[in-house]
């Protein structure tokens, strides 16, 4: 799936709802996933939810979660090498709604 197809499923996240993507160990991606596996989070997510960006204070790469882009495909809960990403159903239970199909 192309990253430009993020709008097609019609998922919507309210800005005031609790995050549905949470790291079990916040330091693990930078210490383990990036050096040992090349930061797979930034590659397996079709919506670009996970990206490594430079930390403003240290300049080191830090995993940033853009949960508002999530398609609810659960690839992160399946493919994370250390099972560190906890995916829960977003508030409201709104999932993909493909109107073209």
For the chain (101 residues), the mean pLDDT of every run of 10, in chain order, is 50 67 95 96 92 95 91 89 90 60 55
Can you give the pLDDT at residue 73?
85
Can you give the pLDDT at residue 4?
47
CA distance 66 to 39: 15
Can you give the pLDDT at residue 101?
55
Can you give the pLDDT at residue 67?
87
CA-CA distances (angstroms) from residue 56 to 31, 59, 63?
18, 6, 12
Report pTM.
Answer: 0.76
């Amino acid at each position: 799936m192309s990253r430009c197809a993020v709008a097609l499923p019609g998922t919507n996240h309210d800005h005031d709802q609790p995050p549905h993507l949470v790291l079990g160990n916040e330091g693990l991606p930078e210490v383990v996933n990036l050096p040992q596996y090349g930061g797979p989070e930034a590659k397996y997510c079709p919506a670009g939810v996970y990206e490594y960006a430079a930390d403003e204070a240290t300049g080191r790469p830090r995993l940033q979660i853009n949960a508002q882009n999530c398609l609810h495909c659960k690839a992160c809960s399946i493919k994370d090498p250390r099972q560190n990403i906890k995916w829960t159903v977003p508030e409201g239970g709104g999932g993909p709604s493909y109107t073209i199909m």
